[in-house]
Amino acid sequence: MAVIALAGCSGAPGVTTSALALLLSWPLEPGRNMVLAECDPDGGAVLHGLLQGTLGDRYGLRNLSVAARKGEFSDAFWRQLIDLSSEDGAQESPRNRLLLPGITDPSQSASLGQAWKMLAQMFRGIEAESGHDVLIDLGRRGAYGPSGTLAEHADATFVVVRNTLRCLQAAEGRVRALEERVGDVGVLVINEGPYPAGEVQRVLQVPVIATLPYAPDDARVLSDGAEQPRRFTRSPLMKAARTSSSLLLQRAALRRARLDPRIPRAAGGEVTRAR
């Protein structure tokens, strides 16, 4: 399936909230699992947002820096994952929607130089061999410093923007820098402002792949752990996230096939793996 990176810019685009909506809506085939990794060097938000601090700080990316130095990275990685399957509203959910929480203090990112590279290799390995799709939340800075190796190794990278003047102006420079590092990128729009997808594409000169609605009340369930309303999973935000997940996957599959022609296509253009 795919390793997909989400990157942000200034203007409060909502990368982590979008990533959580995608995680809980991701179309999982039988035997597939999903990992959302908070790899924002400015710090993660889910432990004290959606999870309201109930798990403390004992899980997360910060623990992997020590494990990398001790040669225990692989085992430590699996111990840091938190099961979010029940957050999707199902009464009996398998352990198939997992979170790797981010660092709790930006100063911790300085110790993760080696861990970023090992994470990139780990994500590629578990996608290919262990039946896991991976969604990487790079935040506003993570695609441009040492953690940018995660974007380089992803199947596709998408910039999350709001279609407001302030955010589009901020996004132009970020998109160009990211294109230089990873090649082509796409855009995931949060539809808060007045500019249609065609105008966003004209300004940023990259394609808009998917759109999420601007839905502050529903977003607060994911960003701050607000009380989940009835039928939350059927809300416009979550419905759009399901559609967006499929569109991001399609884009990632096409890009992977273009970069690696050894991957054959099934009937109908779907990309499949050689057995």
pLDDT tens per residue, range 259-274: 875 544 433 344 433 3
pLDDT of residue 245 exceeding 60: yes
pLDDT of residue 105 exceeding 50: yes
What does the pLDDT look like over 63-102, one tens digit per residue? Answer: 998 888 889 999 999 999 999 986 554 444 567 999 999 9
- CA–CA distances in Å: residue 86 to residues 17, 24, 123, 236, 245: 17, 9, 23, 20, 19
Pairing mode of beta strands 97-100, 82-83: antiparallel
Nearest to 2 by CA among 186, 190, 191, 222: 186
Query: In what helix (H) or strand (E) does residue 162 lie, and over which residues does it extend?
Result: strand 156-162
Per-residue pLDDT, 30: 85
| Higher-pLDDT residue of 57, 14 | 14
* Alpha-helical regions (H) of the chain: 15-25, 62-70, 73-79, 113-129, 149-152, 165-182, 197-204, 216-224, 236-259
**The 186-191 sheet, strands edge to edge:** 82-83, 97-100, 33-38, 132-137, 3-7, 156-162, 186-191, 208-213
- pLDDT band of residue 134 (cuts 50, 70, 90) is very high
pLDDT of residue 167 exceeding 60: yes
What does the pLDDT look like over 188-219, one tens digit per residue? Answer: 999 999 999 999 999 999 999 999 999 999 99
- pLDDT band of residue 187 (cuts 50, 70, 90) is very high
> In the CATH scheme, what architecture does the domain 3-269 have?
3-Layer(aba) Sandwich (3.40)
